[in-house]
Amino acid sequence: MFDQLKNLKALSGLMANLPQIKQRMEQMQAELARKTVEAEAGAGAVRVTVNGKLEVLSVQLDPAMIATFLGDAAKAEDRQLVEELIASAVNEALRRAQELVKQEMSKAAGGLNLPGLDGLNLPV
């Protein structure tokens, strides 16, 4: 019985701090949106920059690699279009994955409407 009272008291304290927790989560998300990471593959043939909100900011394809696949007649505009299409497709896939995670977390929470769940950019 004492354990149950202790758990109830801890839950009550957590509920009282929800506004501060939500504010801190929003601040953290804003900070993450400003931070970026970069990765490459194929010895630098493909380079991708992503922010902390899991948004692809840019995809850069090495012109020599593009020439190999598209021929020497490939123009810079062609490369740029392919880069933008790749970034767009990856962003949409990430958005869908985040939505899936949110749905599954909502199911796991037993349908409870947990505050802050809507605004989270959950990592996949």
Q: List pLDDT tens digits, range 27-77.
A: 888 888 899 999 999 888 899 999 988 889 999 999 888 788 777 777 778
Q: Is the dihedral of CA 47, 52, 53, 57 positive or negative?
A: negative
Contacts 24+ apart (CB under 8 A), 59-66: 59/83, 59/84, 59/86, 59/87, 59/90
Range of the domain at 48: 35-108
54 domain residue, yes or no: yes
30 domain residue, yes or no: no
51 domain residue, yes or no: yes
- For residue 39, give both structure tokens: 């990765």
Q: Residue 119: pLDDT above 60? A: no
5 domain residue, yes or no: no
SS3 of 84-122: HHHHHHHHHHHHHHHHHHHHHHHHHCCCCCCCCCCCCCC
29 domain residue, yes or no: no
Give the three-state DSSP class for 80. helix
pLDDT digits (tens, 9 = 90+) for 91-106: 999 989 888 888 887 7
pLDDT digits (tens, 9 = 90+) for 9-22: 777 777 787 888 88
64 domain residue, yes or no: yes
Which CATH number goes with the domain that contains 61? 3.30.1310
**Residue predicted with more confidence, 5 or 80:** 80
pLDDT tier, 81 (very low <50, low <70, confident <90, very high otherwise): confident
74 domain residue, yes or no: yes
78 domain residue, yes or no: yes
pLDDT tier, 124 (very low <50, low <70, confident <90, very high otherwise): very low
**Residue predicted with more confidence, 87 or 123:** 87
On whether the pTM is more than 0.85, the answer is no
Q: How many structural domains is the chain composed of? A: 1
